[in-house]
Amino acid sequence: MTRQGGYNLPEGVNAVRFSSKAVARVAAGRVIGLSNEQKSAEQVSKVSCSNCSVRALCLPAGLTAQDIDRLEQITRKKTVIKAGDQLFRAGDKFTSLYAIRSGSFKSVVIAADGSAQVTHFALPGELLGLDAYSTQAHPSYAEALENSSVCELPFAQLEILAQQVPGLQKQIFNLFSEELRQEKDVVMLLGKRSAEARLAALLINISERYTRRGYSATEFNLTMPRIDIANYLGLTAETVSRLISRFQKQELIKVQGRAITLLDKPGLATLAGVSCSD
């Protein structure tokens, strides 16, 4: 067992320490600026905060129409990120938060020995970059798992606006609180459950998050490769593949490519030792 942030982590999950060497490794990755292709996509897109499909789960939640208009004025929106490209790198200066409009991302930290650890999977309506606020530098890099789009929220301007709009300030506090809760959930997931329970808990977690976004609770795409799931759960890819096959034989799930159906969500929740919505 290793320790990170005061918690015990199982073997296979590295405690992360950063070095200039580690950051240099990540710097070799593809980081996306606003290319001509992306500028064109931004000009073509007509989606605003007011009619965005994930507005209820993002910063504009609970704000008045006037407040949303003020937020839109500072938002650099609709940047397109291709699958496999990085939105930001570990060690980059913290300047913005990124709201995911479509697609999904993984957050990855680089240990001092150069090994990578997947720490988070982010879905539409969620924010990337919250964990960089305290140190003013990103501790991880964010990579698109599929073709995705984000809205960039420059934090300096967002902070000024939040002082003028109490509803926005409250929402930002709520988002930071949610970030802390998710970190705690990860520690509990990795430290106290069997391999079966970890995978079942991850499936329930993703299902619940999609449910909050108005999508199906039992049918969705599992966009993350099995090797990333294994890394995140502190397991081997072979173990994850074996467990997925076992879950299918037990008629807990059905998998076709990236599409997954939870055939017995209560059964998965029982296996994971967690509660779930109907």
Same-domain pairing of 137 and 205 = no
Same-domain pairing of 147 and 99 = yes
Same-domain pairing of 101 and 164 = yes
pTM of the model: 0.77
Q: For residue 110, which of 202, 1, 234, 27 has the smallest C-alpha distance?
A: 27
What's the confidence (pLDDT) of residue 61?
63
Given a cut of 50, the residues of the chain with pLDDT beneath it are 1-45
CA 129 remoteness from chain centre: 10
Same-domain pairing of 102 and 233 = no
Same-domain pairing of 16 and 103 = yes
- Phi and psi at residue 142, to the nearest 5°: -115, 120
CATH number at residue 214: 1.10.10.10
The strand pairing partners of 127, in sequence order, are: 99
Same-domain pairing of 42 and 142 = yes
Same-domain pairing of 170 and 200 = no
Whether residue 277 is contained in a domain is answered as: no
For the chain, the domain total comes to 2
Q: Which amino acid is at 209?
A: R
Region for 267 from its dihedrals, namely left if φ exceeds 0, alpha if ψ lies in -120 to 50, beta otherwise: alpha
Report the alpha-carbon distance of residue 130 to residue 30 in Å, rounded: 21
Q: Residue 131's domain spans which residues? A: 2-186
Same-domain pairing of 71 and 166 = yes
Find out whether 260 and 220 touch, Cβ atoms under 8 Å: yes
pLDDT digits (tens, 9 = 90+) for 33-66: 433 434 434 443 456 776 676 666 666 666 788 8
Which SS3 state, helix, strand or coil, does residue 171 take? Answer: helix
What's the confidence (pLDDT) of residue 184?
73
